[in-house]
Amino acid sequence: MSTPLHQMQVPAEWVAHGSLGSFPKLFGYDQKPAEVREMQGRLAIVFPSLEDQAELIYAVPGIVDWFRELYAKIPHFPYFLVPNVEAGALQSILISGMASKARDQALTSGVFEADDQAIAWTLTLMAATARYATHMGDDWEPVVRALLSPLGADTDYFVEQVAQVLDESP
């Protein structure tokens, strides 16, 4: 039996105006754990009216800024994202955290080499995701490990870094 996936369609107007619509309410801390846990790792963000504007969705003007706003307002949002490479969860996190020069290079080359700023951003979001998972009654490590799994051999290192951030925070 396969896990049902859910697509959240983001209208072009939201991207143009930096709007998150109902996302903060839908994906906030005050949701019922049983309902939230059903959505863990099953959400894909799509931009149907913008996807034909560039080969890489992140090259469409406003998309990276929209993801940055999403993660700034809902830092635990990765909890909900489909954690495979094709869905682009880790890409959206990394590119939204990159310095503009590194981001421009990634968009030009298609190679996402994280700079220090993107790594710090990713660790912050993964720690927020871990806290949210714990708040919802989940074991945080499998959730975070799945999101970081596209890193391959570096996954263990980054999971350890998240654990360290959690240990150091109140």
Residue-range definition of the domain harbouring residue 120: 6-168
In a domain, 139, yes or no: yes
| Of 132, 13, 163, 149, residue with least CA distance to 83 | 149
Q: How far apart are CA 63 and CA 131, in angstroms?
A: 26
In a domain, 107, yes or no: yes
Q: Are 79 and 143 in contact (CB under 8 A)?
A: yes
pTM of the shown model: 0.92
In a domain, 12, yes or no: yes
In a domain, 115, yes or no: yes
Residue ranges for the chain with pLDDT beneath 70: 1-3
Q: How far apart are CA 12 and CA 16, in angstroms?
A: 6
pLDDT score, position 149: 94
Tokens standing for residue 79? 């909890």
Q: What is the number of domains present in the chain?
A: 1
Concatenated DSSP letters of 108-152: HHS-----HHHHHHHHHHHHHHHHHHHHTT--HHHHHHHHHGGGG
Residue whose token pair is 């590119």: 95
pLDDT score, position 3: 63
In a domain, 1, yes or no: no
Residue 38 CB-density burial (10 A; 0-12 exposed, 13-18 middle, 19+ buried): exposed
Q: Phi and psi for 29 in degrees, rounded to 5?
A: -75, -20
In a domain, 108, yes or no: yes
Residue 91 burial (CB count, 10 A): 17
pLDDT score, position 108: 83
Tokens standing for residue 115? 């700079």
pLDDT score, position 136: 95
